Structures are given as structure tokens and as C-alpha cells.
Amino acid sequence: MRMIKRISTITLTTTLILMLIPIQAFAQDTKDTFSGIPIMMLDGNGRTEQGKATVKMASSKYTRIDENQNEYEIRSNGGTTKDDLGPAGGNLPDGLDAGYSYWQIYRLELTQVISETMIHESMNNAATMTVPIPDGCSAAGAKRIYNCSQPDAVQELNKIDVTDNGDGTISFPIVLGFVDRSMGQQGTDFLVCGTYVVEYKKTIDISTLKTSASLSATSFDYTGAAITPDVTITGLTKDVDYTVAYTNNIEPGTATTTITGKGAYTGSFTLEFTINKKEYKQEEVKDEKTGASYEVTTNADGSVEATYMGSEKKDEKNVKIPDKITLPDGTEAKVTKVASGAFKNNKTVTSVTVGKNVTEIGSGAFQGCPKLKSVKIPASVTKIDKNAFKNCKNLKTITINAKNLKSVSKSAFKGLKKGSTIKITGVSGKKKTKAINMVKKAVSSGNTKVK
């Protein structure tokens, strides 16, 4: 019990002693950053706040600062000549560097900064200042060109690249001056000061430079791969001042190039180029799905036609010649002809339906097909060449829409199955009679009936 009382007495005594020690004795300089510093633009219209700045000291510390008093601010001017910057502008070069169009001066004054570690008239205290990018200016290429802790201190005119923080602000290294204004009372009322100038490039709407932009070419032939012409803008560098993107740049038609400003350049514009349909010159095209192959040709008028050459599927029974096919470039070609000998001596085909765009059945196209039993020929066919269906011994039924039929070779239907029939449709009267007579000359007498 006595031990507990003794401990309690010691604790109470210690607490009373601590309460009597001035609070200032516990003050420690732990802060290194001044934040929310108003940037006040001074011009003929008075004072306008441009935003807030931050100053972070590299090694110095402070205890507190009165942020509500009038001298917690950065006074600033901007312009295109050094006279626009006030007296400190006299220390600058005569003009802006080439490509730059704006100067801004930042005069830092922070009073009533309480610190026990700052040193009076210390003028080379490293720090970093962060400020918002002025309206109409760019972080790209911006440089700190003037650095001074106070007017009568050493002035640095070396050019230092700023850091673009990507959030509408930039940061750059500075030196701070510390002046003790406490009338000899160490640790109270320091003035923290400095003057700095940043050189900016004005942002430019890149669309205003469209007339100086060009593509490496504006017309390309279809290749099946993405086409990406080079973009050149006089005086600018790709991926530094602008980026390029492409749309609709594979298939034939009009493709679009979008140029978007970067760095000191904003906005975007587009340039167009043409991807031409492939010109085919009797080129072979294979249909991987059906196994058929075609000879494709582009006509003088730009239309594309295909000739059915045959199929690698040798066991195909029911053959349908298609109306059209899709080419590798995505365009279509009408199938207008069955090639000579396309199915000659085929041992498996039993029926043939000819597509509605076929105008000619080539010589010997189906000659000697022993299992062929029926054929349908559409109204589009104008010509049936010699031996087209000769010696098809089991061909029994042929339907011909003779609406446009103009020529049938005399040997086209020779050697068909005895009792076979060729039926003429699509015409009547004299036209039908003419068609019947034309086809009769192409059959073996006594074997095939034409009606």
C-alpha cells in the first residue's frame, strides 16, 4: 500500500511540473511545405488570383505560419516582354527564346514564419515550387529561366526544364531566402522570399496547321493489311507535338487519319485517303469453303467478273454455280462464265444449277459426265459453246430459260441419253420457236426431244 501511494505521489508531481513548462519548449520544426499559397496576378485591373502554389523545402523546417495575413502570397505578372514583369524583368535577356511566347514572374513573400532552425540572411535554401500552368500556355518545353532568393542575392539565369505533373501544374527547383524580422528574437517572424521567372510556349490549336499537313500518299491499292501513310506537319515532330490514329484503313473506300495535338498543341483534325479496289487481271481466286476456283478480271468500267474454273472436290454430286463470290478485298464479283472443260469427264456430278449471272457456258464444260442427270440453265445465259454437254450419257432433263439465248453450238448437246428432253422456258410464240430450232441443231437426231 505504501509503494502504491509513493508511485501516485511521483506521478502527480511530474504532471504538475510538465504543466508549468511553457508550451514553446515542445515546439519542433517538423513542417517543410508551404501549401495553398495564392498567386495574385497584378495588372491594370488590380489583383486577380490565378490559382494556388506549393513550396516544398529540401531540408529546412518551420513550426507554423499565419496563412490568414495578407503577406502569405505570390505576386505575379506575365507578358511577352521583360518590361511586363516589373523591375525584376530588367535582369532578363532582351527577348523570349525562339518558339516561346510568354513570361511569368513569381515573387514569393511569406511572413511570420516561425522557425527555430532557419538562419538569418541564408540565401541558398533549396526548394521546389509547384504552380498551375497559365491559361493558354503549355507545360511542354517550359523552362525556369530566372532564380533568385531576393533582389540583392546571387541571380541565376540558367535555363532549367520544368516537370509536367500531368494535372495542370508544373514544378521547378528554386532557392529561398530567409530573413529574420523578429528584431533579434530568435525563432520568430521569418520572411521567406524569392523571385522566379518561367518561360512558356503558348498552346496552339493544331487544326490551324492543317494546311501545312500532308500524307505520304492519298491513294493506295488494297493489300488486305492496314494502310498507315506517314503524316508530316511543317515544323512539328510526330509523337512530340502530335499523335496519329487511323480508322477504316484496311478495306477499299475512304480511310481517315486523325491528327491530335500533344504538348504545346491542342485539338485535332483529320485527313482522308483512298484505298482502291484491287484490279484483277485474270487472277485465280479460291473459295476455301466450297473448294471452287475462279479466274477473276476487272473490266474497264471497274466491274469485276469471275469465271468458274472447277472444284477441287472431286466427289461433289450436286453442283451449283453461284451468282457471285466475295473476293479477298471484301468486294464481290459476278460469276459470268463456266470455263471450258470445268467439269469435263467428272465421274460424280449428277446435277447442275447454273447461277443467274452466268452468260456463257464454255466449250466442253460438262462434256463426258457419265452420272449427270439434270441441268438448269438460267435466263442470263446467252451462249452455250461447243461440246458443252456432249456425251453425257445419262443426262435426261435439261431446262433452258431462253429469254436471252442467242447462240448454241451445233455439238453442244450431242450424244445425250436416248429419250432425254430439253425444255425451253422464258419465251413464247415466235421467240420460243426460234429457240427450239436453235437447240434442235445442237442435239443428236432421234435421241433428244426439244420442246
Mapped to the 3 state alphabet, what secondary structure does 397-409 carry?
Answer: EEEEECCCCCEEC
Q: What is the pLDDT of residues 208-221, one digit of tens each?
A: 999 999 999 999 98
Residue 451 in this model has a pLDDT that exceeds 80: yes
Mean pLDDT of the chain: 87
Residue 69 in this model has a pLDDT that exceeds 70: no
What's the first-to-final CA gap in the chain, in angstroms? Answer: 136
Share of the chain above pLDDT 70, in %: 90
At the topology level, CATH places domain 283-450 in 3.80.10
How confident is the model at residue 355, as a pLDDT?
Answer: 93
**CA dihedral over 130, 136, 140, 145, signed as positive or negative:** negative
Where do the CATH 3.80.10.10 domains begin and end in the chain? 283-450
Where do the CATH 2.60.40 domains begin and end in the chain? 205-276
Residue 21 in this model has a pLDDT that exceeds 50: no
Residue 261 in this model has a pLDDT that exceeds 90: yes
The region of weakest confidence among 75-84, 113-122, 316-325 is 113-122
Mean pLDDT score, 119-130: 89
Q: What is the pLDDT of residues 38-48, one digit of tens each?
A: 999 987 778 89
How confident is the model at residue 98, as a pLDDT?
Answer: 86
What the block records as the C-alpha cell of 446 is 432421234
pTM higher than the cut 0.75: no
Q: What is the pLDDT of residues 420-433, one digit of tens each?
A: 999 999 999 999 99
Q: Please give the class, per CATH, of domain 205-276.
A: mainly beta
In the chain, the amino acid numbered 313 is K
Q: What is the pLDDT of residues 201-257, one digit of tens each?
A: 999 999 999 999 999 999 998 888 999 999 999 999 999 899 999 999 998 899 999
